[in-house]
Amino acid sequence: MRSIAVVGASLAGLRAVEELRTQGFDGRITVIGEEPHRPYDRPPLSKAYLTGTCATEDLRLADAADTDELAAEWHLGVRADSLDPAARSVRLSDGTEVVADGIVIATGGRARPLPGAEGLAGVHTLRTLDDAVALRADLDASTAGVVVIGAGWIGAEVASTCRTLGLPVTVVEASTTPLARVLGATMGAHCAALHTDHGADLRTGAGVASLTSTGFGPWKRVTGVVLDDGTHLPADVVVVGIGMRPNTEWLAGSGLPVDNGVLCDAGCVTAFPSVVAVGDVARYHGPDGPVRHEHWSNASEQPAVAVRNLLAGTTIQEYHSSGYFWSDQYGTRLQVAGHPAGADEVTVVDGSPHDRRFVAEYRRAGTAVGVLAMNNPKQFGRLRRQLRAGAVPA
């Protein structure tokens, strides 16, 4: 294998390039990225970047010298339009064709839009640096307040940041308990209480009926959100955080199996041994079936395994997710490790949720499967290490 194309220039794509060099690949590497920016860190976009305490240059995952040392060809601001696995070629939106012996798919995903909000000024999703630039400008000019639709991780972080900026915030969540799908109802409720602790108005079990607006054409701007019960929430900024869609449309007709992501085996290898997938777009075969993760740690860890299998031409190593992710909300650090979803027992083993400082352990059929901590990094670190070693005590 003398040439490899990495499609996607965010964290997973950059880590794939780094792993290729670390694992001894000295051939040609071509990196294709739809955004015009060099790889940058996304987690600060919803926090420090929006408050203005983090500059654009602080987001860089690697400086120019580091990327130069990787000796890769960078095609930025250009989209991959199609893949021909048999010919091992990628067709780009500018008409260029990149031919390579191996392909790494790291195209990530895009924020899921709110139906009916297309072209309406003041309505934002937050996934990219350009999204954050536009949102920060509107927050700086806001006078009527902010409505955040979706109380998942990204929605909660944006709500927290808006409160830090002194803006009135209403968080609208369709489910009865935010984060219950991931953390369970009890722990989800404790995390959701951070909103009310800090003056945000949390509306749960609430659906969005429509958006109100003023003006017309390119001057049409949001003025509020109407809920299913008829409640009108005034706002001149609406942030939509209702999930993401993996970027797989460009693979139509390629013969590559796609279903809520690029389907892979346990080693991130697709139906074609010369093609692997990593990061948010990869839906690999885990212990309980196909699974796709949307966390920073997964995008950082997964490429090492995928690259090893790509260079070997077959699956010689399986990927095992640490399940680690974190979220900073209202000055509180939330940390999760393992796979708490589906646990049948949750026990607080240190501290108290009411003090907003605790560690909870998740078990399934008596076996430890996950750990959640709020403002308790030391105990979390200890239990996380024991969890990975399979030795969390009862």
Kindly list the structural domains of the chain, giving each domain's residue range(s) and its CATH number in brackets, ordered by start: 3-110+245-312 (3.50.50.60), 113-240 (3.50.50.60), 331-389 (3.30.390.30)
Quick one: CA dihedral 178, 183, 184, 190, positive or negative?
negative
Q: How many helices (H) and strands (E) does the chain have?
A: 9, 26
Question: How much is the pTM?
Answer: 0.94
Instruction: State pLDDT tens for residues 138-178.
Output: 999 999 999 999 999 999 999 999 999 999 999 999 999 99
Cα–Cα distance, 281 to 251 (Å, whole number): 12
Per DSSP, 112 falls in state P
Q: 370, 323, 375, 306: which is closest to 344 by C-alpha? A: 370
Sheet containing strand 201-204, edge to edge, reads 123-124, 237-240, 146-149, 169-173, 201-204
Structure tokens at 67: 């990327």
Q: What is the pLDDT of residues 206-258, one digit of tens each?
A: 999 999 999 988 889 999 999 999 999 999 999 999 999 999 999 999 999 99
Region of residue 243 (left: phi > 0; alpha: psi -120 to 50; beta: else): left
Determine the pLDDT at residue 389. 75
Predicted local confidence at residue 332, as pLDDT:
96
**CA separation for the pair 241, 236 (Å, rounded):** 16
Which residue's structure tokens are 């501290």? 351
Identify the pLDDT of residue 65: 60
74: how many CB neighbours lie within 10 A of its CB? 17
Beta strands in 41-96 (DSSP E): 72-76, 80-84, 89-92
Q: Which residues pair with 258 in a beta bridge?
A: 262
Q: What per-residue confidence (pLDDT) applies to 323?
A: 87
Residues of the chain with pLDDT under 70: 64-65, 390-394
Instruction: Answer for the pair 6, 29: CB distance below 8 angstroms, yes or no.
Output: yes
Look at strands 28-33 and 3-7 and give their pairing. parallel
Which residue has 């309406």 as its token pair?
120
User: What does the longest C-alpha to C-alpha distance in the chain come to?
Assistant: 62
Question: In this predicted structure, what is the pLDDT of residue 63?
Answer: 72
Distance (Å, whole) CA 351 – CA 360: 9
CA atoms lying within 13 Å on the CB side of residue 375: 15
Helix H or strand E segment including 181: helix 180-183
